[in-house]
Structures are given as structure tokens and as C-alpha cells.
DNA sequence: AGATAAGCGAGACGGTACGTCGTGTCTTAGC
DNA sequence: GCTAAGACACGACGTACCGTCTCGCTTATCT
């Protein structure tokens, strides 16, 4: 039996769990990650503080649980006709995720928190949604290639840097980026 | 004259200023950005808390002032014989800065803080050391090109993403990255 | 039932309350009222600062709660054989209270603080231990009189002024004061 | 020569001295003794902080200098026809001084501060305006008596206690108090 | 007349208490 | 035995005032 041992007692309230996850989603957009507190989450969810601490250690854990599923879904793009279209479509999804999606906001907050806290770094390493999504795309457009990290970084890096350095997402030229992915800086000889 | 207006009053103590900047440098390495507090900085610097608040609003501001000069210096690479060597050399400096340099640790902490605080985002936007350094390199290897943001992102992005997503810096293949910068994902047709 | 409403939540810690009251008692004697701080009280009591602020607003409130019971007890004198003996005995208790008793030191500090802070003035007005004690004595020696404020001031005033103006308590002639209370300044015609 | 030794240097600014004394007077009424700060006094007087500290150690010293002359003057009553009138007139002046006069407010603040600070106690002991004024009255109405402390306390005490315990000054029966000063609590035998 | 010296307003200095807030733990009553 | 409520010890927050110091300047007396 995989079922966890339970010897009586009130079972965990799924309602409380959902309330906490939604509270985190809401608070992230309303006040931002830094101003989001465990106390605030509990109050917003209408839940006791101990109930929060019983199931999660930090706000990062809650946020991770709250946004990882959405993130995976948003980064999974449908196959396209050409390889260029496939990459373009993926980069578009990536940009939208990082720049506009609530789940993406959560992910960015977690990445930032990871920079300040090794525990968070370890947490998000358990499910690398960004690299996984890119790997899937690369596997489709070049099934005979190993799809190593190198290609993944080439694919994600420029868009990632654009967003993370605070540039306007609307001014990112996805098409040009997709072309450069295949052709590089230019035709000139290095 | 650029001279600051002074109508009496004790002048600012350069000694106190240096003590605070050094304290921030030290504390960043010793306890990390998250555990660094304004109070801790003041105590470590042997300075009154009001003196810190008088000249800086947040620890981010202090850290920015403490590491921006070093960052600029570390990212300025000497010209190389070939364009490939130039890029390789730059990517190496970039990787070392982001992954190993104390100034780079400060910069990463600031980037992360910017994700949580718009004020910090604005602060680091006043002096984009990363983009500026890449622009300088690109100007040398392709003087006839405008050196737009697109090329900058292609150059920095992959390395930046590698480091920021927590990968081992030692396993980053700088040479391959430099080649790909010129040639793209590969010879295959999109 | 007078019972306070309680719908869950950890109950107030009587231990913490006592610790705070004792800390105030101790600190008043050790460092004096002026040097006594909310922070110092909390530390001395081994209690969080929030716990102090949760139940009291100012050090004056704590001190009031800490010494009002003792004050009442010390000012309640046993009935004596003659009216003169009764008054003498009361004035002696009053002098000892104001000049030597720890509770009296607290009361003097509160009277002084009331002079600087209307809130304290209002606080000590809720339980006028001095006037109450005098009223009790006057009621015993002259049950047929209304025991108005006038007589109370005649009774307490001289001793009170002697102590509050910093004179040596030992040189106060209680017997003479008691006699004067009945006979006034002297036999001379006004 | 009593003149202080001075071998050159700018003389003390009488204008600054007056500004400080007036600032203290004003601030005492506006914000009260407790909220009055050395910094606030300096700012209000338009004077450097060091200038205040150069001539006075504490706000109590300034206040003492600012109100002692007025106090003496206000407590000096003109001779009256009868001894009863003399005492009544004095008690009235005493009540007005303690309850309504700005100088009296300063004096009450100093008395209160003395309760918290021995230095202030010592300061106001150098010039006991209350006892001095009462002694003068007693000397006039009973020149053949030594005018010891006992009579002074009988005279001042009741009014002093009335005011200091926060009673409404308007409800103090000066005439009754004056009569009682001569006759005591009543005709009953102790 | 020039030097010397002390007072002046301004304001930064190292400290420390303020009252508030968030932390993670605990102890209730209620379901 | 999980829940909501809320008190607990702890410590950082940013502000205010402490008393001291260091500026440039002014105003006097003493060579």
C-alpha cells in the first residue's frame, strides 16, 4: 500500500489547502513576493497559521506548488509545420510565460528567491520546467541529436536574459531570435 | 564647478562611507543577501544606523554602490586577435564574473532583489553593466553594425541562463558557446 | 457570568504578567523611573516586547498595576483609641508610604509622570488611593461629617508637600501635624 | 573683580539666550515638558544645538532659568488689612500660580522632573520659591513667630495637594482653606 | 592692523529606545 | 487529530533624540 498510515484523527482539509494556494496566487499579484508573508497568507486564506506551517515550510514551497502545474502547461507548445515555426512558437510561449503569465511571475519570484536561499534553489531544481519544456521542443525538431544543455541554453538564454534584465517584452523580436537560433550572429567569419 | 552646495554643517565622513561599503561586501559573502540587514550593516561598519539611512535607502542601494565599479572593471576584456577569441574571452570573463566574483555575487543578488522590488529594478537600470560590456565587445568585432539589443542577448543570454538557473559554471563550454554565437544551432536548415 | 469572551486562542500567560510587574518593581528601585524603558522591562522580565505592549501601553500603566494594591494596603491603618491617635497613626503611615515604601516610590513616580502626560493623570484618577485612604480615616473619626475634599486636603496636604518638595522625611513632626489638623495655625485670632 | 576672565573671543549672544528661554516657554505650553527636546528647543529658537548645550546641560535648567523670576513675582502678594485676608490673598495667588500661570506650569514640570532626576531636585532646591513666598507671608502675619517649616506646610500643603492631585482649581474653596489654616479641622476635641 | 580666540548656525557622527511587524512555536477550544 | 484563534519569545524595521564633533563664519579682545 502506498497509502500513508493514518490512525484516526481528522483528515487534512483539502479546502484549507486550496485556500492557501489561491491566497498565494492572489497575494503574489497584489503585493508581490517580498511583501507576501506567511501570516498574510494564513489570514487571506482564512486559515490558522499553524495549518500553513504544518504542510509547507516557506512561502516559496507554497508558491512552487501553486504555480508549477500551470507553468508546465503553458510551456508545452503544439507541434508546428516547420522547425522554424516550432521554435518561434516556443519562444513566443516562453516570452508570454515569463513576462505576462501569473504562473510565470511566480516562477520568476522563485528564481529570484533561489538566488538568496539555497533551499529554494534546491526546491526548484526538483522540477526544471524551463529546461524540460525546451528539451521537448528540441527533441521534436532534431530527434537524432542528444538535445544537450548547450542547445537548450542557446534556445532559452536570449529570451530569458531579455525578460530578466527588465526589458519591455513587447519589443522582443521573437522571429529574429528564432532565425538566429539556427544561424547565429551572422554570416561573417569569426 | 560641480561642487556640492554646503552652507555649514559637518561634512560627510568618507571613512563612514567606506566602512559601510566594506561591511556590505563582507556580509554578502558571510551571511548572504537575505540575511543581511540594515542594522547588521551598521553594527559591522561601526556606524550609527541613522548614518546608513541618511545616505542610502535600502541595502540594495548600498550593494549597488559597493559593486558596480568592480563589475565594470571585471567585464572589460582586452582586445583579442580574432573575433572568435574576442568573444570567447568575453564569455569567459562574463562567466567568471557571474559565477565566482564577489562583485558578481552582488550583481546577482541585485538582479534577484529587482525581481521582488521595482525600486531595485529601476536602480540597476541606471547602469546596465552587463549590456554595456557586451556592447563594447560587439562594437569591436563588428564596428559597422549597430550593435543592437538582439546581438547582445544572443551573446549574454546562454551564459546568463546557465548561471542563473543554478548550473555548475565549470561545466559550461565557453568555446562551444562562442562558436554557436557565430553559427547558431547548427548547419541544418530550419 | 462576568467571564471574558474567549473563542479559542492561547490564553494570556499569568507567568508573563507577573514577570513584567516584578521587573517594573525591580527596575524602579534599581534605575529609577526615567531610566526605565519598555525594552528594558521586557528584557528584564524575559518576555517579548510585543507581549508587554499587548497588555499595557506605557510603563506608567504597568507601574500603576504593579503598586496600586500595595499602596492601598499600606495606607489602611488600624483604628486607634483616640481621634488624635488615629490621625497621628495615619500621617505616619502616609509619610512612610510616600517616603520609604517601594509602592510609594512608584506612586510618586506616577504623580510626577502625570504632570507630564495627561493620559497618566487620567490613569491615576481612576483609583485615588491617597484620598480614599484619608476618607476612610475621616469617616471613622467624624462619622457625622460628610468627609468632603476640604478635610482630606487639610489632612494629607502638609505631609504631601513636605515629601514632594524633597524635605527629609525624618524631620517631619507627625505629632505636631496631627495636632494642627485639629487646631489650625494657632490660638491667635485671624 | 567678579567678572569672568575673558581673553578675547566672541562674547555670548544675549539674543540667542533670550531666544532659547522664550522657545522653552512656548514649547512648554504647546507640547508639554515631556515632548520638549533639546533639539526642538534649538530649532524653535533658531539656534545651533551646541549653543544650547554650551550654556545649559538639560531642558530643566533652561526651564528653571526661564520661569523662576516670574514665579517669585507672582507669589509675592501685597500686604492686606487682616491676617485672614492676607492668607486668603496668598492662597489665591498660590492657586493661580500653580494652576493657571505659565510660570507655574514650568514649576510643576520641574517638580515632577525632580521626582525622576536628582540633579533637577538639587537644582530647584537652590531657590525654593514656594517656601520663600510662604515664609514672607507668615513673617508679616506673625512676626514674633519663627515661621518654621511646620506652618509653611500647613499653609501651602492643602492647596498644593489639591492642584497636584489633578483636581479642578476652580472648585478649591480658598476662603474655607484660609479659615482652616487658623482654626484647624474643627471645634471638636481630638 | 593683524593675530588670536571664542561663540555662532548647521548638520553629520555613533548610540539607543521607540512602537510595529513578521518569524516560527505553543496552547487553547471546537469540530 | 486537524482546525481557527491568538499569545508567546525573538529580533529587524525605520524614526527620533541623545550629546558630541566638525565645518565655515562672525565678532570680539589683545597685541
Q: Helix, strand, coil proportions of chain D in percent (round to 5)?
A: 70, 0, 30
3-state secondary structure chain B: CCCCCCCCCCCCCHHHHHHHHHHHHHHHHHHCCCCCCHHHHHHHHCCCHHHHHHHCCCHHHHHHHHHHHHHHHHHCCCCCCCHHHHHHHHHHHHHHHHHCCHHHHHHHHHHHHHHHCHHHHHHHHCCCHHHHHHHHHHHHHCCCCCCCHHHHHHHHHHHHHHHHCCCCHHHCCHHHHHHHHHHCCCCCCC
Residues B91 and B177 in one domain: yes
Specify whether the backbone of C166 is left (phi greater than 0), alpha (psi in -120 to 50) or beta: left
Q: Give mean pLDDT, residues C27-49.
A: 97
Quick check: A16 CB within 7 A of strand F?
Answer: yes
Compare CB distances from B158 to A157, A165, A177 and report the shortest one's residue: A157
Residues A16 and A80 in one domain: no
Flag residues 8-27 of B with CB < 7 Å from strand E: 8-13, 16-17, 19
What is the three-class DSSP state of D11? coil
Q: Which of B14-18, B164-168, C15-19 has the lowest mean pLDDT?
A: B164-168
pLDDT score at C187: 55
Classify residue A170 by its DSSP letter.
Answer: G
For chain B, what is the mean pLDDT? 92
Residues C43 and C117 in one domain: no
How many Å apart are D72 CA and E27 C1'? 62
pLDDT digits 0-9 by tens, A62-100: 999 999 999 999 999 999 999 999 999 999 999 999 999
pLDDT digits 0-9 by tens, A145-189: 776 789 999 999 999 999 999 999 999 999 999 999 998 776 555
Nearest CA of chain C to the CA of D47: how many Å?
A: 25
Q: Which of B80-89, B143-152, C25-34 has the lowest mean pLDDT?
A: B143-152
Q: Is residue A160 part of a domain?
A: yes
Q: Do B117 and A82 touch (CB under 8 A)?
A: no
Compare CB distances from D190 to C82, C121, C150 and report the shortest one's residue: C82
Residues D146 and D173 in one domain: yes
Residues B71 and B50 in one domain: no
Residues C132 and C159 in one domain: yes
pLDDT score at D185: 75
Give percent above pLDDT 90 in chain B.
85
Q: Give mean pLDDT, residues A105-128.
A: 95
Residues B120 and B159 in one domain: yes
Q: Is residue C40 part of a domain?
A: yes
Q: Is residue A109 part of a domain?
A: yes
Give percent above pLDDT 70 in chain B.
94
For chain D, what is the mean pLDDT? 92
Residues D143 and D87 in one domain: yes
Q: Is residue C190 part of a domain?
A: no
Q: Give mean pLDDT, residues D75-103.
A: 96
Q: Give mean pLDDT, residues C154-183.
A: 95
Quick check: D118 CB within 7 A of strand E?
Answer: no
User: What band does A144 get if pLDDT is binned at 50, 70 and 90?
Assistant: confident
Q: How many helices (H) and strands (E) does chain D have?
A: 10, 0
How many Å apart are C54 CA and F14 C1'? 21
State the nearest residue by CA to the C1' of F10. Answer: C48
Residues B37 and B113 in one domain: no
Is pLDDT of C147 > 60? yes
* Residues C92, C100: Cα–Cα separation, whole Å: 11
How many Å apart are A13 CA and F2 C1'? 8
Residues B32 and B120 in one domain: no
Q: Is residue C62 part of a domain?
A: no
Q: Is residue C5 part of a domain?
A: no
Q: Is residue D152 part of a domain?
A: yes
Q: Is residue B1 part of a domain?
A: no
- In terms of residue numbers, what domain contains B19? 12-56
Q: Give mean pLDDT, residues D33-59.
A: 97
Residues C104 and C128 in one domain: yes
Supply the angle between the helices B59-75 and B129-141 in degrees, to the nearest 10. Answer: 20
Looking up residue D161, the CATH number of its domain turns out to be 1.10.357.10
pLDDT score at D5: 52
Domain count for chain C: 2
Closest residue in C to D175 (Cα–Cα): C150
Residues A52 and A72 in one domain: no
Looking up residue C39, the CATH number of its domain turns out to be 1.10.10.60
* Residues D153, C91: Cα–Cα separation, whole Å: 14
The distance from CA B44 to its chain's CA centroid, rounded to whole angstroms, is: 24
Amino acid at each position: 500500500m502506498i497509502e500513508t498510515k493514518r490512525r484516526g484523527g481528522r483528515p487534512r482539509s483539502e479546502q484549507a489547502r486550496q485556500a492557501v494556494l489561491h491566497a498565494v496566487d492572489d497575494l503574489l499579484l497584489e503585493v508581490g513576493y517580498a511583501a507576501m508573508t506567511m501570516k498574510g497568507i494564513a489570514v487571506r486564506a482564512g486559515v490558522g497559521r499553524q495549518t500553513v506551517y504544518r504542510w509547507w515550510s516557506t512561502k516559496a514551497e507554497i508558491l512552487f506548488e501553486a504555480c508549477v502545474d500551470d507553468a508546465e502547461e503553458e510551456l508545452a507548445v503544439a507541434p508546428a509545420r516547420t522547425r522554424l515555426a516550432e521554435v518561434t512558437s516556443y519562444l513566443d510561449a516562453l516570452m508570454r510565460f515569463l513576462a505576462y503569465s501569473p504562473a510565470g511571475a511566480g516562477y520568476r519570484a522563485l528564481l529570484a528567491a533561489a538566488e538568496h536561499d539555497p533551499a529554494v534553489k534546491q526546491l526548484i531544481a526538483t522540477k526544471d520546467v524551463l529546461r524540460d519544456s525546451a528539451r521537448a521542443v528540441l527533441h521534436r525538431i532534431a530527434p537524432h541529436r542528444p538535445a544537450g544543455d548547450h542547445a537548450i541554453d542557446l534556445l532559452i538564454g536570449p529570451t530569458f536574459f531579455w525578460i530578466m534584465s527588465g526589458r519591455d517584452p513587447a519589443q522582443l523580436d521573437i522571429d529574429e531570435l528564432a532565425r538566429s537560433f539556427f544561424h547565429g550572429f551572422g554570416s561573417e567569419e569569426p
